[in-house]
Structure 1
């Protein structure tokens, strides 16, 4: 489950296509809400209703991506404000789906972020960070979370459900 950020595509799309393996699979610029999520074969009306209930507990909000940050020297990303609103969305969904810990439970803390590059050579990531800095801030209205499905095949990821956040 993600929050797509189409407003970021002009600034990061060309960079992500080279530097983020998820982009080549068709995953748009986004902030992850929960990955991995329920396996596609198990997503039914009940799962989507449960996810929709969780998402609606968080009011829609306006977000801005204002700075370039790093996870070590392997991942360059954009930091959203208010990060707390994204965190509340992540928490609400994770509480409803505890059997699917974020990132498989690998990270003790989940940091809301929009990945620009992941695992590419550090010099390329540094160039990307400088390029994208010139496009900040990027603003978006966060009104829906999307359930997406796909595989490692190029261009395979697609939206199967759009879940509206609550009203302000």
Structure 2
């Protein structure tokens, strides 16, 4: 859920993410400097679906459906050992990313009115943003630092619902994956 300023988000917007706490030691300082979503309260993560439904639409029925849809998917492991780029963006690449893609597909099948990134991209690439809106020299410096550290793995066992309160992202719920 990278953004160029916290004002880009509106109160009531929601997103579904997978937290990657194992990344924090390597990426926290970089994200605090170069990823506005970190300053807005979002931990190291991979976005599963953003934007999701407006908070006003998330009732007991939606929460139950989220638990059902996500609970059909098994927990899995990801490995992080390489970086990737979009224009002005550096990210850690989760491998394999197939199960992340399946989570996104399952959610958009259930809620077609909430396409990933509002339908801006033809392909959604799972990623953990480190820096957004930076020039190549900054991205190269960060990438060199990250690649000098050992690769790590992360167990994905839940998907979290975050809500923007107008200033920061707040935790609202966590939905367990099977097993």
Counterparts of 1:26-105 in structure 2, within 5 Å, are: 26-72=41-87, 74-105=88-119
**What stretches of structure 1 move > 2 A for 4+ residues in a row?**
none
Choose from 96, 101, 109 the match for 2:123: 109
What's the RMSD between the two structures over aligned residues? 1.2
**What is the distance in 2 between the residues matched to 1:88 and 1:134?**
31
Note if contact 1:57-1:165 (Cα within 8 Å) is conserved in structure 2: yes
**What is the distance in 2 between the residues matched to 1:158 and 1:63?**
25
**What is the distance in 1 between the residues matched to 2:73 and 2:148?**
31
CA deviations on 1:3-36 (whole Å, 9 max, x unpaired) are 0101101101110111111111001110100000
TM-score normalised over the length of structure 1: 0.93
Q: Which residue of 2 aligns with 1:3?
A: 18
Q: Which residue of 1 aligns with 2:173?
A: 161
TM-score normalised over the length of structure 2: 0.87
**What is the distance in 1 between the residues matched to 2:166 and 2:20?**
21
Note if contact 1:59-1:165 (Cα within 8 Å) is conserved in structure 2: yes
Q: Name the SS for the 1:33 alignment partner.
A: strand
Uncovered stretches (5+) of structure 2, i.e. residues with no partner: 1-15
Q: Name the SS for the 1:161 alignment partner.
A: strand
Size of the aligned set, in residue pairs, is: 164
How far off its partner does 1:120 sit?
2.2
Uncovered stretches (5+) of structure 1, i.e. residues with no partner: none
Note if contact 1:67-1:136 (Cα within 8 Å) is conserved in structure 2: no
